[in-house]
């Protein structure tokens, strides 16, 4: 048993948990931890981001791309509060992140001391759990517990706030191996399983809807076997991308506000909707009272709080969805739904995703990225039109290859997330797709990429407007473009070059593929500024508050 300072205990506990990379920004109260980190830089890589929000997003992207816990660090006061948006992003999408902050000494707490803030109180609604450590003897076990909580059941972010005197004090430390993370299976009952089996066996028009929980549970293999065994079409949510192979014949595309007509109409017509790890977000259901009106809804989810929260279910099984699907597959015989699948295929032919093939557009850029990477890249995005195009036109064959802010919709998320994803998946091509509005929010993280030579490719779909907001203003606000035009003097190529990156401007569709090939081959940070039209829109679309069967596209608007 060794006597270590609190700061050294933090580092040893991170090593216990297998942490190899942390993202952060130092400051006064966390200096002792950074001093200890300096002594262990050959064991833990620290990435100094340009802003603490970038550190939180990088930890989140690392977690999504690898399935491991992402770790970020910040000092007290503004350092800690700058993590808040990133913590909330991780919370909304159930991402295991441990955020470590430090605070003023115990004797200074509650006195409005310099850079003192109640970060535990601030983050309480947006963390799975949080701690403030005022006693060094409790530090090691608190850190271990935080990692366990972040990963158990439905994952989520955990914050540990440590007072500065705890990082300086000393106590005995003894190594402990991490607790194994058990899958939540005790809540899977035979009664629920029997009811599920009965519904599946008796369905004539079953439809599967896969959400982020299927990705988190690593249930892709089981989901594929299940879908083919019961011969059911499969749609996904934004968070569910990659849980089911986007090139599979049973795949129908995304569901919801910008989902395919085939998915939206199929779910409306089905008689059994099997929901695997999805929470019925309002962007998925549209008018929840009219969602899947002809179906009995069977929901599989690890979190009992999600059952009947947004949409009333007919039956449910609570527990780890990988285990649930594995148990179902073992007890189901293959069934034939040829007529139903033929109907779905006819809808696919009738309602393909369309765009103008003659111009440089967002969909064209995304399709070209797919053609070159063949679905093997990690795609991160910001939030807006480009995000929807990335979801619609790139075929995600594997889980953890689409990294995006779904629940919170955080503009400025993607570039930091791309850095984290690349640090976790060094053998993968990592491409962040952004709009110009999002890119300018956290484009300072290009400087982080160049400082460490993290070879991410930043593609900016630059329409000189806040595209998604403008789309709503066009369709629902009489074309009153209130504060959505960004047609100013900012030159992203010069900005990127000023931060040390290679940069290109693309103005025609013929230019894009050669530039992308060169960017991937260079293996350095690259920014590609693609000039697209300000009035390009994302279709199909469902008007806010309307049922998803009311999806429309540009052809419907001409009628």
Q: Which among 196, 227, 335 is positioned nearest to 236, based on CA atoms?
A: 227
Altogether, the residues listed in the chain come to a count of: 559
Element (H, E) at 84: helix 84-92
Token look-up 């100013």 returns 488
Helices (H) and strands (E) in the chain, counts: 24, 20
The Cα–Cα gap between 148 and 294 comes to 41
Q: Which residues pair with 22 in a beta bridge?
A: 46
CB of 295 closer than 8 Å to CB of 267: yes
Alpha-carbon distance of 291 to 191, in angstroms, equals: 26
Contacts for 403 with CB less than 8 Å, ≥ 6 apart = 61, 64, 65, 378, 379, 380, 381, 414, 417, 418, 421
Exactly one of 128, 164, 205, 348 is catalytic; name it: 164
Torsion of CA 45, 49, 51, 55, to 10 degrees: -50
Q: CB atoms < 10 A from the CB of 534, how many?
A: 16
Residue 167 CA to residue 33 CA, distance in Å, equals: 7
Cis peptide before 540 (omega within 30 of 0): yes
Contact by Cβ (8 Å): 537, 275: no
DSSP for 222-254 reads HHHHHHHHHT--EEE-STTTTSS-TTSTTEEEE
Instruction: Confirm whether 52 is a catalytic residue.
Output: yes
468 is catalytic: yes
Q: How far apart are the first and last CA of the chain?
A: 77
User: Which residue in the list 8, 12, 52, 367 is annotated as catalytic?
Assistant: 52
Give the C-alpha separation, 447 to 441, whole Å. 14
* Residue 79 backbone dihedrals phi, psi, to 5 degrees: -60, -45
Catalytic site residue from 388, 441, 443, 468: 468
- Pairing relationship of beta strands 2-5 and 170-173 according to DSSP bridges: antiparallel
164 is catalytic: yes
Single out the catalytic residue among 39, 43, 114, 374.
114
Q: Whose structure tokens read 């063949």?
A: 374
Strands annotated E in 59-114: 70-74, 97-103
Strand 2-5 with 21-25, pairing: unpaired
Q: Determine which one of 15, 16, 68, 115 is catalytic.
A: 115
The dihedral region occupied by 253, where left means phi > 0, alpha psi between -120 and 50, and beta the remainder, is left
> Rounded distance, CA 22 to CA 472, Å?
39
**Residue 184, phi then psi, degrees to nearest 5:** -80, 100
What are the b/e assignments for 484-511, b being 16+ CB within 10 Å?
Answer: bebeeeeebbebbeebebbbbbbeebeb
Our answer to whether residue 231 is catalytic in this structure is no
Q: Which residues are catalytic?
A: 52, 114-115, 164, 468
């Amino acid at each position: 048993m060794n006597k270590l300072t609190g700061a050294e205990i933090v580092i040893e506990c991170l090593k216990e948990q297998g942490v190899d990379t942390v993202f952060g920004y130092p400051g006064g109260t966390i200096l002792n931890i950074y001093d200890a980190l300096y002594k262990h830089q050959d064991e833990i890589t620290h990435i100094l981001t340009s802003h603490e929000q970038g550190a939180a997003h990088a930890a989140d992207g690392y977690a999504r791309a690898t399935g491991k816990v992402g770790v970020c660090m910040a000092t007290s006061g503004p350092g800690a509060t700058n993590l808040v948006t990133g913590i909330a992003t991780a919370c909304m999408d159930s991402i295991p992140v441990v955020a470590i902050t430090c605070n003023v000494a115990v004797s200074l707490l509650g006195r409005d001391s310099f850079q003192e803030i109640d970060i535990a109180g601030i983050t309480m609604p947006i963390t799975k759990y949080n701690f403030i450590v005022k006693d060094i003897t409790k530090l090691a076990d608190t850190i271990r517990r935080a990692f366990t909580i972040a990963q158990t059941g439905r994952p989520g972010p955990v914050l540990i706030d440590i007072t500065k005197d705890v990082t300086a004090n000393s106590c005995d430390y003894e190594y402990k191996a991490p607790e194994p993370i058990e899958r939540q299976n005790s809540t899977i009952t035979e009664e629920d399983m029997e009811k599920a089996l009965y519904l599946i066996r008796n369905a004539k028009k079953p439809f599967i809807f896969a959400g982020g929980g299927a990705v988190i549970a690593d249930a892709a293999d089981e989901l594929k076997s299940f879908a083919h065994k019961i011969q059911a079409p499969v749609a996904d949510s934004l968070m569910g991308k990659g849980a089911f192979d986007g090139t599979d014949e049973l795949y129908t595309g995304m569901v919801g506000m910008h989902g395919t007509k085939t998915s939206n109409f199929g779910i409306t017509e089905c008689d059994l909707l099997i929901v695997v790890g999805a929470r019925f977000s309002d962007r998925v259901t549209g008018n929840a009272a009219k969602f899947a009106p002809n179906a009995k809804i069977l929901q599989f989810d690890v979190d009992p709080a999600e059952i009947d929260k947004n949409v009333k279910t007919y039956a449910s099984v609570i527990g780890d969805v990988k285990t649930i699907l594995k148990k179902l597959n073992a007890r189901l015989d293959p069934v034939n739904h040829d007529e139903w699948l033929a109907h779905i295929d006819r809808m696919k032919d009738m309602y393909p995703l369309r765009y103008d093939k003659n111009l440089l557009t967002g969909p064209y850029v995304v399709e070209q990225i797919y053609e070159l990477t063949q679905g093997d890249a990690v795609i991160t995005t910001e939030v807006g039109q480009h995000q929807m195009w990335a979801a619609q036109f790139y075929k995600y064959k594997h889980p953890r290859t689409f990294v995006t802010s779904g629940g919170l919709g955080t503009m400025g998320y993607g570039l930091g997330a791309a850095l984290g994803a690349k640090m976790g998946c060094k053998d993968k091509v990592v491409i962040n797709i952004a709009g110009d509005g999002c890119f300018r929010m956290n484009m300072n993280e290009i400087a982080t990429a160049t400082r460490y030579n993290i070879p991410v490719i930043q593609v900016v779909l630059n329409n000189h407007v806040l595209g998604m907001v403008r789309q709503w203003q066009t369709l629902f606000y009489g074309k009153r473009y209130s504060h959505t035009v960004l047609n100013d003097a900012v030159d992203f190529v010069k900005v990127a070059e000023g931060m040390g990156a290679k940069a290109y401007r693309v103005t025609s569709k013929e230019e894009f593929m050669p530039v992308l090939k060169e960017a991937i081959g260079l293996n350095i940070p690259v920014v590609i500024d693609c000039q697209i039209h300000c009035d390009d829109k994302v279709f199909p679309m469902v008007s806010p508050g309307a049922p998803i069967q009311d999806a429309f596209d540009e052809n419907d608007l001409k009628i």
